[in-house]
Structure 1
Amino acid sequence: MGDLLDLLAVWMPRQRWYGTKGRDPLLTVVADWALDGDARVLLVRDEAVHPAIVYQVPVVERAEGTVPPGSLIGASADGQVWADATTDPDFTDQLYTWVTAGGEVGTAQDGFIGFALATTGAAPVSRVTAKVLSGEQSNTSLIFRPDGEDAGVPVICKLFRQVNPGINPDVELQSALAAGGASFVPAAIGEVRGSWITPEGVPVSGSLAFAQEFFEGVEDAWRVALDAAAAGEDFAARARALGASVAGMHVALAAQFPTREPDEADRAAVVGAWERRLAIALAEVPALAPYAERIREVYARAARAPWPALQRVHGDLHLGQVLLTPSNGWVLLDFEGEPLRPIEERLLPDIAVRDVAGMLRSFDYVSGAVADDDGEAVRAWVIAAQQAFLDGYAETAGAVRADDDPLLAAFELDKAVYEAIYETRNRPDWIGIPLAAIGRLAPLD
């Protein structure tokens, strides 16, 4: 096992899902589950960061020269190599069985169980072809399509790479919404939950994988919006429908999960997060300095305003988390929340307007992503889309639309401050987008 851990310490930092780039991992084995065939599922703990992160790493031992490009982890012995098992049928066939029919590995204290949740109206087939979805970041997703002439529904299964005790909010929220009959989320197919013993000797359990309905040949809302803006197409009806879907999500989550009124500690935590983010931004983005006092005034006004009840929310909502489907209209995805936030925070009730602000900021980015000489026309398109989105949201939420909502302004502003930090660090040419938004949300006298 020592040799494999040494190989993983070199291989893992090169993967998109590895969360602490720039550091050498310090790995220990938390769990090692043998599967049928030559595949194994490892949980490895990276103690190079604090708190330590536990990663799920399925591996398989194969003859040298037989593994797909990009899957090689390193040499084993006697002409054998270790490979990432997410591209190997020995693992993917079993994963599909766990989420569509069920199955167990190991024991209740040190193993995992898969179980089916529902189907989309057509029974999952026994023969499928698996393909890893490209472009994944914090997780690895596999698409299972019927093999040959078999009729059945395609399934997408998300393998959680960072594993935490407790049910992942992506599983918890989306399964509850789907079970409640919501058409704005994919149907839930099945999941895998594991149990393991921590190095401190504490038994814990958590989500390992989640499978859901896969929509073939559809585009996300970001691409749909970009194309519409570039062509100058009216987007109001689609934006209004998207607002209705987001509001429907919030209404359903408030009905299915506990809500509570915010107390002073809740308010202090949110305002404190705004202020900490602003302090970082002022240190890294000099162009923000003139706006500092106006930003603080917006935050202070929101802190004094009435706050709605706290409830479960999406937590990381933007146009890239939404699909436009011919059967269901707008479909919302990825309820995992911001991957960098601790899992404990992502499971807590929050303010629904956070999701609304995230979507408004996402629309605003269309103006910077569309190459058009007529900047005013694109800006007008963005404003019209944002207003239609807010109209659709208010109508479905059963609320009167407020054009001067202090909380919405503060969350939009906080998101723009975050974007200013991100763009300064990663895409300096895009810094104008959040700076322009900050100028509108916290205008100078």
Structure 2
Amino acid sequence: MGDLLELLAVWMPRQRWYGTKGRDPLLTPVADWPIDDADARLLLVRDDAVQPAIVYQVPVARRAEGSVPPGSLIGPADEGRVWTDATTDPAFTDALYTLVTAGGEAGTDEDGFRGIPLGAADRRPLASRITARVLSGEQSNTSIIYRPDDDEAGVPVICKLFRQVNPGINPDVELQSALAAGGAAFVPGAIGEVRGVWMTLEGVPVSGSLAFAQEFFEGVEDAWRVALDAAAAGEDFSQRAYALGASVAGMHVALAERFSTLAPSAADRSSVNNAWERRLAIALMEVPQLAPYAEQIHRVYERALETPWPDLQRVHGDLHLGQVLDTPSNGWVLLDFEGEPLRPITERLQPDVAVRDVAGMLRSFDYVSGAVADDDGAAVRAWVIAAQQAFLDGYADTTGRPRTDDDPLLKAFELDKAVYEAIYETRNRPDWVGIPLAAIGRLAPLS
């Protein structure tokens, strides 16, 4: 294991899913489980390069040198063999498919894992012979798409392998499974999950989510691309935006019914406000253009604290147009209920303010105006406003709560999101910083 850990310490920082860029990993083995083939293994390794330490899931396979798919090599194993990333290895991908569709287990109750089918397979036929392919471009996890072989019937499946694992059920598994079990058409069917048990540093066994499989929609686009194309063509998007607002509202209504809600306390309000103020303090240091708006931003936050708040509930937590698919069978379908990956898992599991999701979608619509190359900026801006208003109408009509054009809480969450965007764009895409700055000017105008 020692030699493999040394190889992983070099290989992991080059992977998109590695979360501590710029530091050398300090790895300790947490779990080592065989996957059918004795030379394919599922590892959990703890990285103490950052505190609190992060536990990563790393499937590996030992294969003959020269038989490794491009980009999968980790390093030398023994004479004539090398260690590879098993997410591209049939022994691992086939075993993972079996776990999520049919179940199974390995190891013990205190050191092992098990597959848990979630019922969608009872209503949707699954293929027995499949071809697996790793989805490229993911940042935080690794997803594998399973398609039926040519002569097989069955729905395609996408299985997300969580690279960072934590005690407890991942909210992506918990929330989406609950919504799917309730018959919601605005989420994919839940196929199955893999849950593991491992030991903490203190020798206490903990259980957590390792993988989650759901129905995969072939040949569809996300709402970001659909909205961009509509805005660029000058097509009215009001009906589509209204339907999207209704889907988001339906999600919130269903989550409030299936999970506990609670009245926000003074401590809850203070916690949210502290997060707003911390983000603003960072922005004022990194984005000089924000300085003239600081006092007005504080006033928006103060007004939000004085207004009545709805009950706190479970929410999506990271909702934007890129998290929504446009499907011919189900209409708008919402994805990725993990919440903001950089937030601690304990925070993402807590009830929150549903307005956070609404604000995220409004900001996503606003980005369309910056992404569309159009000589007539006024026309694109009008498109964005019409889409946002239709989205809010669809949301209000579905929840049954009257809509107001002056919602202090929504404005504060929208403003906080724009402040975050100003930081992000300054660090990563300076040419785009004008988009959130313009939004801040509208939400907290200079007097």
Question: TM-score w.r.t. structure 2 length?
Answer: 0.99
- In structure 1, C-alpha distance between the alignment counterparts of 2:135 and 2:380, rounded to whole Å: 32
CA distances 1:101-120 after superposition (whole Å, capped 9, x unpaired): 00001111100000211226
CA distances 1:391-445 after superposition (whole Å, capped 9, x unpaired): 0000001011111000000000000000000000000000000000000000001
Match of 2:51 in 1: 50
Letter in 1 for 2:88: T
- In structure 1, C-alpha distance between the alignment counterparts of 2:267 and 2:164, rounded to whole Å: 29
- In structure 1, C-alpha distance between the alignment counterparts of 2:77 and 2:150, rounded to whole Å: 35
> Which SS does the other structure have where 1:76 is aligned?
strand
Letter in 2 for 1:76: A
Shift of 1:262: 0.3
Question: Residue 382 of structure 2: which of 377, 380, 383 is its match?
Answer: 380
Match of 2:150 in 1: 148
> Which SS does the other structure have where 1:336 is aligned?
coil
- In structure 1, C-alpha distance between the alignment counterparts of 2:10 and 2:387, rounded to whole Å: 46
> Which SS does the other structure have where 1:280 is aligned?
helix
CA distances 1:71-119 after superposition (whole Å, capped 9, x unpaired): 1111111011100000000000000000000000111110000021122
- In structure 2, C-alpha distance between the alignment counterparts of 1:160 and 1:122, rounded to whole Å: 24
- In structure 2, C-alpha distance between the alignment counterparts of 1:200 and 1:226, rounded to whole Å: 51
- In structure 1, C-alpha distance between the alignment counterparts of 2:361 and 2:340, rounded to whole Å: 14
The CA RMSD measured in Å over matched residues stands at: 0.6
Letter in 2 for 1:259: T
- In structure 1, C-alpha distance between the alignment counterparts of 2:124 and 2:245, rounded to whole Å: 30
Map 1:428-439 onto structure 2 (within 5 A).
428-439=430-441
Map 1:183-198 onto structure 2 (within 5 A).
183-198=185-200
> Which SS does the other structure have where 2:116 is aligned?
strand
CA distances 1:316-366 after superposition (whole Å, capped 9, x unpaired): 000000000000000000000000000000000000000000000000000
Letter in 2 for 1:70: G
Given the alignment of the two structures, is residue 123 of structure 1 paired with residue 125 of structure 2, yes or no? yes
Letter in 2 for 1:9: A
Match of 1:427 in 2: 429
Letter in 1 for 2:8: L
Shift of 1:10: 0.7
Match of 1:359 in 2: 361
Shift of 1:125: 1.6
Letter in 1 for 2:429: R
Given the alignment of the two structures, is residue 18 of structure 1 paired with residue 18 of structure 2, yes or no? yes
Letter in 1 for 2:102: A
Gaps of at least 5 residues in structure 2 are none
> Which SS does the other structure have where 1:109 is aligned?
coil
> Which SS does the other structure have where 2:358 is aligned?
helix
Given the alignment of the two structures, is residue 35 of structure 1 paired with residue 35 of structure 2, yes or no? yes
Letter in 2 for 1:319: L
Match of 2:134 in 1: 132
> Which SS does the other structure have where 2:120 is aligned?
coil
Map 1:21-420 onto structure 2 (within 5 A).
21-37=21-37, 38-119=39-120, 121-420=123-422
- In structure 2, C-alpha distance between the alignment counterparts of 1:66 and 1:148, rounded to whole Å: 25
Shift of 1:247: 0.2
CA distances 1:208-266 after superposition (whole Å, capped 9, x unpaired): 00000000000000000000001111000000000000000000000000000000000
CA distances 1:99-157 after superposition (whole Å, capped 9, x unpaired): 00000011111000002112263321211100001111100000001013010110000
Gaps of at least 5 residues in structure 1 are none
- In structure 2, C-alpha distance between the alignment counterparts of 1:404 and 1:320, rounded to whole Å: 27
Shift of 1:199: 2.3
- In structure 2, C-alpha distance between the alignment counterparts of 1:118 and 1:212, rounded to whole Å: 11
Letter in 2 for 1:167: I
- In structure 1, C-alpha distance between the alignment counterparts of 2:202 and 2:22, rounded to whole Å: 27
- In structure 2, C-alpha distance between the alignment counterparts of 1:47 and 1:147, rounded to whole Å: 43
Letter in 2 for 1:349: P
- In structure 1, C-alpha distance between the alignment counterparts of 2:337 and 2:36, rounded to whole Å: 32
- In structure 2, C-alpha distance between the alignment counterparts of 1:261 and 1:428, rounded to whole Å: 40
Letter in 2 for 1:359: M
Letter in 2 for 1:77: D
Shift of 1:292: 0.1
- In structure 1, C-alpha distance between the alignment counterparts of 2:230 and 2:15, rounded to whole Å: 34
- In structure 2, C-alpha distance between the alignment counterparts of 1:298 and 1:412, rounded to whole Å: 10
- In structure 2, C-alpha distance between the alignment counterparts of 1:67 and 1:118, rounded to whole Å: 35
> Which SS does the other structure have where 1:299 is aligned?
helix
Question: TM-score w.r.t. structure 1 length?
Answer: 0.99
- In structure 1, C-alpha distance between the alignment counterparts of 2:116 and 2:416, rounded to whole Å: 40
CA distances 1:306-325 after superposition (whole Å, capped 9, x unpaired): 00000000000000000000
Identity of aligned residues (%): 81
